[in-house]
Structure 1
Amino acid sequence: MKPIIIVLLFALVGIMAVSCESDGDIEFKRYYTAGSLVYQEHCQNCHGKNGEGLSSLMPPLTDSVYLKKNSRQLSCIIQNGSNTLLLVGGKPYNNQMPPANLAPIEIAQVLTFIKNSFGNKQGLVNVNMVNADLKDCK
């Protein structure tokens, strides 16, 4: 009987250790996972499965420097589209991107996914950050 209790005790301790993620970790995983689905539905067709872009037509999403430098404008680009010249990785992209018609939470989710995929590691983008960025759109 005692070996069963010991095994159950170890199993319980193991389950508790796995479930002790911080609220921030859980929030990040929720945004990232939902963002993956938003990306597949709205972005992947032009920007590629692996964020590689589409030749010289659509920019890649693999340039961490561009994403970080233009972080405050990304929400506006997704929400309103873009028809201006973008320099990504030193290459010019001048094709029009249509507005995505996404809710701010979806923009936050997809930005969390993009900014933490394709070699990028830039952390959580939450809905409050997106709402603040959208207020500054020009």
Structure 2
Amino acid sequence: MILWLTTFAFSIASALLPFLPIEVYILGAAASDPTLGTSISLGIAAGLGATVGKVIWYQAALHGIESRWAQKKLSKPKVQAAYEKWTGRMQGRPWYAATIIFVAASAGIPPLLAMAAVAGILKMPLWVFIPTVVVGRSIRFTLLFLGVDFAFH
């Protein structure tokens, strides 16, 4: 239980602070108890924690778009055009938005931190964002834990 809570907490920190890579933590944590059940459980813990961190980025971007600085940036024609382009693509198309976020959450391309901010700025519905990130991150981290498990057997 301690390892699960530590994994959950570290994954929140890692999601907020890009200089704390969860992948390095996973190598150490998985080596301490390399079993299938532990790998799956810790992958889910890391996925849930990462989602908490990314929701914080989402909310910061959602509310930050109204700041004077953001409005000044959006007043530039090139930035405004890009904003309108992505808003048009994402709003009203939850499957499209979910696909982009899922790829970012599971493969890391584009970086999920950036996509969480974009999702907040574009007001992607949380009912799409949260489960997509949980599933994508849980798959990614479970596979990493299982990779370490496989290396030990």
Task: With the length of structure 2 as denominator, give the TM-score of the two structures.
Answer: 0.29
Counting helix residues as a fraction of each chain, which structure ranks higher? 2
Bigger Rg, structure 1 or 2: 1
Task: With the length of structure 1 as denominator, give the TM-score of the two structures.
Answer: 0.31
* Higher RCO, 1 vs 2 (CA within 8 Å, ≥6 residues apart): 2
